[in-house]
Amino acid sequence: MRVIAVAEGNYEIQAFSSGLYLNSLTGAVYNHHIDDALVLNSSPTRTGKWEIAHVGSGYTIKQVSSGLYCSLKQNDDGGSPLIVLRPVPTVWDVEFQGAERKAICISWPVTGQCWSVPTLQSNGQAGPVLAQLQGGNMLPKAWRMLSLQSNDESGPLLPGLYAIQNKVSDTFVSLSPDEKSIGCWPAVDLASTGVKLWVIAPLGRGYTIRLQGTDKYCTLQSGTGSGSQISVSTVPAAWRIEPTHSPVKGQNRYYRIFWADTDMVWDLEDYGKRTAVKMMHDNGSQACRHFQLIA
């Protein structure tokens, strides 16, 4: 007897029989011949995080990294339909199997078929396929959902010594040549001086950001409006440093750095294509406003 009681949230999806994780192939640029293909690997990758959301009497299964949804594609070889990624949501039945609720079944409500681990005769197809829900061995049709913690739940920033790296450009925050402001440069450009480290310490409900080995603190001197460049001064200023919302807790955690209680946030100029770090109104969606603090 199945119990339909699946909680919404973010999960890794694992084949019950083999222990393999659901991921997808990836390319440098989106290509439906590559990125739509699902695979089963021995460990989850960045593509193996899935958002389960309740819609009507079923659920959508969305890949966190791409925003694409698990859907169906007819097999060109005439075999079982393939599970692929598509931009249009598809609603699945996601139900626990048995009273112990250790495994789930993901089925297509229209046809009475469900996700199944492919057999060796599936012409090399490495991702899940659809199989008849009733009859046969049920073990390949069973899946685990492993819940993932939200990035917002991993606690406040700890004081310490950090390198500050921009998410979109992978460049590091350092002192500008004029030694009056800050910017971002690739690590190779900092070979002679090394990647600069910043001492982050609590001040009230915020943090100070000081260049290691100096008395230079990040602050604002030319104004607090949009486009104001972040400068350095011997007078400390308090910044509000908040984790960016991420639906899963990954190895890399990113932050937005705000001026006091405003919505003005650090922004790497021209969507990360230039070096200057300036203040911009935050809309929460620009990766050039996300910084990784590397201890």
pLDDT tens for 50-59 read: 989 888 889 9
Counting residues of the chain whose pLDDT is more than 70, the rounded percentage is 81
- pLDDT bracket for residue 120 (50, 70, 90): low
The arithmetic mean of pLDDT across residues 39-63, rounded, is 86
- pLDDT of 60 above 80: yes
Angle value at C-alpha 157, between 153 and 163, nearest 5 degrees: 125
pLDDT, tens digit (0-9, with 9 covering 90-100), for 133-166: 877 777 888 999 988 765 554 557 889 999 999 9
Please check whether residues 142 and 15 belong to one and the same domain. Answer: yes
* Domain end call among 148, 164, 188: 148
Joined tokens for residue 36: 């739509």
Q: Provide the pLDDT for residue 180.
A: 92
Contacts 24+ apart (CB under 8 A), 190-195: 195/163
Which of 262, 256, 249, 85 lies closest to 168, judged by CA? 256
Please check whether residues 166 and 186 belong to one and the same domain. Answer: yes
* Domain end call among 123, 148, 173: 148
Residue 3 lies in a domain: no
* Domain end call among 116, 148, 180: 148
Please check whether residues 188 and 57 belong to one and the same domain. Answer: no
Q: Give all strands (DSSP E) within 38-92, no chain letters.
A: 38-41, 50-55, 58-63, 69-73, 82-86
Residue 4 lies in a domain: no
Domain housing 271: 152-294
- pLDDT of 1 above 50: no
pTM: predicted TM-score of the whole model, two decimal places:
0.52
Residue 2 lies in a domain: no
Residue 112 lies in a domain: yes
Q: Provide the pLDDT for residue 72.
A: 83
- pLDDT bracket for residue 34 (50, 70, 90): very low
What's the structural domain count of the chain? 2
